[in-house]
Amino acid sequence: MTELDQSKILLLCLDNQPSIHGKYKDLLAIISRSVELKRARSIDEAREFFDEKPRAVLVADAGVTRSENVRVYSKLLSYLITGGLVIFGFDFPSLTPNDAFNVFWGNFELPWKSGNADRLSFRVNPFCSLPRGVRYDSLPSPYTMSVLHMRRAKPDDRMFLQAPDPEAETEDTLFPTGPHKGQAAVVGAKVKYGFLVYIGDINGQTGTKKLILALIGLRPRRTNTGRT
């Protein structure tokens, strides 16, 4: 298993979507204050930065799914299976074409497929798998987000599930029933020695930013208000 450089995180943004730096400006600022945040906007940058073995890779758009970027995908896969942490989120769920989205996960030998798009409240699955060193009590829950669900994930790969409706006169069950049965907003799985996470939030909710920070082992710094 590869030893990772804990002082570096890679943001893989081959399509260089400006919305990433708008919706997630505050998150990227927090990360940059804690570690060296590398932004890979080209094939050459990505291949160079992968060789530095960052503590985590944040995949921010659909660029890595395109055939012309296969060399970047090869680096990503090698990094992952030798012990890396890869998080797909930001604009990835909303901008990846559905056909490419569904085919892509097979590269990691995962059966995942796109599910429903909806805005709901979600909570942590207390029995899900997590990356090494991440604690359940560090994850935000529950919170509301607009998501592209993932289906066909194993029960313990489903990290965030639809929260029960407090006004519904039904028994509270961990796994949702009805139209979202078998689906999850956030999924994660061990791939060889590494760990892969998909976050389906398409709007950059505050809870999602806290989730990303928790997964990469960082916490937002408290702002000094000057009060005593």
pLDDT at 219 over 80: no
Taking residues 80-109, report their average pLDDT: 98
The residues spanned by each domain of the chain are: 5-215
Hey, which residues does 196 pair with through a beta bridge?
Answer: 86, 189
Enumerate residues 6+ apart whose C-beta is below 8 A from 31: 9, 37, 213, 216, 218
Q: In 3D, which of 20, 6, 24, 146 has the Cα closest to residue 84?
A: 6
Predicted confidence (pLDDT) per residue in 119-171, tens digit = 999 999 999 999 999 999 999 989 999 999 999 999 999 999 999 865 444 44
Backbone phi, then psi, for 29, in 5-degree steps?
-65, -40
Q: Which of 32-36, 212-216, 217-221 has the lowest average pLDDT?
A: 217-221
Q: Which band of pLDDT confidence, cut at 50, 70 and 90, is reported for residue 227? A: very low
Alpha-carbon gap, residue 24 to 174, rounded angstroms: 30
Taking residues 95-109, report their average pLDDT: 97
pLDDT of residue 175: 61
Q: In 3D, which of 193, 125, 117, 123 has the Cα closest to residue 154?
A: 125
Taking residues 4-11, report their average pLDDT: 98
Taking residues 167-191, report their average pLDDT: 72
What class does CATH assign to 5-215?
A: alpha beta
